[in-house]
């Protein structure tokens, strides 16, 4: 597509439930990133996919967080047993994989855990 | 580890006045540097970036930034602010290699008084 698409744009969930967030990258972009933005904070790196290589999961805050990506297509970020501190905007970005050229962010999913 | 500091959490300027937003970084080599703008409910939009070469970088919407290696700074400037510039501004540093992850500052919220 023309841009990075994320869904849903807003999600309210009860504490303890699992949630799935979706990211559809720009067509042809081999690299995909997930970031988290908590209120009043900058963005924190969560996970990075590059083609068929093993993902860089170094930013995932706990084992309740996981993400998948099949090839160079859609990615899903899953948060299990959500906690109130998981409330944040989750932003996805994709790039051509050639350094930072074409690094483009989606509009994010605002997750609220009540 | 790389880090970014944006010392001003909030800045208020009058429309038509000049603007400077401060950004200091910590990185062991020549960094990739970025400024992004985020309007309410929107994703991140890239204003400008520095990779190498001329240390004064021109961006969109009339913004510019200057890379000063001696001061580890990459301040964002605009000679005359418009009311539509009210938004949150993020400085980021990118690692060379290692997946092209971005490390963000905590942001500066810009308010423009008419």
Parse chain A into domains and list their residue ranges: 5-108
Highest averaged pLDDT of the listed ranges A7-16, B86-95, B99-108: A7-16
What digits encode the pLDDT tens for the residues B1-57? 789 999 999 999 999 999 999 999 998 777 899 999 998 877 889 999 998 889 999
B107: left (phi over 0), alpha (psi -120 to 50) or beta: left
Q: Which fold has domain A5-108?
A: Immunoglobulin-like (2.60.40)
pLDDT of B113 strictly over 80: yes
Question: From the CA of A43, how many Å to the nearest CA of chain B?
Answer: 6
**Contact B43/A108, CB-based, under 8 Å?**
yes
Please tell me the distance from the alpha carbon of residue B112 to that of residue B54, in angstroms, as a whole number: 30
Question: From the CA of B17, how many Å to the nearest CA of chain A?
Answer: 26
Q: What is the mean pLDDT of chain B?
A: 92
Q: Tell me which residue of B101, B105, B51, B31 sits closest to A55, measured CA to CA.
A: B101
Ordered domains of chain B (ranges, CATH): 3-113 (2.60.40.10)
Place of tokens 């959490």: B9
Residue A102 near residue A49 (C-beta atoms within 8 A) = no
A47 to chain B: closest CA residue: B101
Question: From the CA of B112, how many Å to the nearest CA of chain A?
Answer: 19
Q: What is the dihedral of CA A51, A57, A59, A64, to 10 degrees?
A: 130
Q: Closest CB to B94: pick one of A43, A48, A100.
A: A100
């Amino acid at each position: 597509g023309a841009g990075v698409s994320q869904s849903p744009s807003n999600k309210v969930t009860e504490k303890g439930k699992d949630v799935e967030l979706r990211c559809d990258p720009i067509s042809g972009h081999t690299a995909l990133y997930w970031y988290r933005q908590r209120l009043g904070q900058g963005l924190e790196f969560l996970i990075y996919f590059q083609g068929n290589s093993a993902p860089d999961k170094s930013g995932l805050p706990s084992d309740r967080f996981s993400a998948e990506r099949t090839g160079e297509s859609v990615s899903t970020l899953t948060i299990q047993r959500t906690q109130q501190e998981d409330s944040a905007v989750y932003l996805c970005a994709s790039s051509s994989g050639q350094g930072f050229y074409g690094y483009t962010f989606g509009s994010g999913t605002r997750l609220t855990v009540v | 580890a790389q880090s970014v500091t944006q010392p001003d959490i909030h800045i208020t300027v009058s429309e038509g006045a000049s603007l400077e937003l401060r950004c200091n970084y910590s990185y062991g080599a020549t960094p990739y540097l970025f400024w992004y703008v985020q309007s309410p409910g929107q994703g991140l939009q890239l204003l400008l970036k520095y990779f190498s070469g001329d240390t004064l970088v021109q961006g969109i919407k009339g913004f510019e930034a200057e890379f000063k290696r001696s001061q580890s700074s990459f301040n964002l400037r605009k000679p005359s602010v418009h009311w539509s510039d009210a938004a949150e501004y993020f400085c980021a540093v990118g690692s060379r290699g290692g997946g092209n992850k971005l490390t963000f500052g905590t942001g500066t919220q810009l308010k423009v008084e008419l």
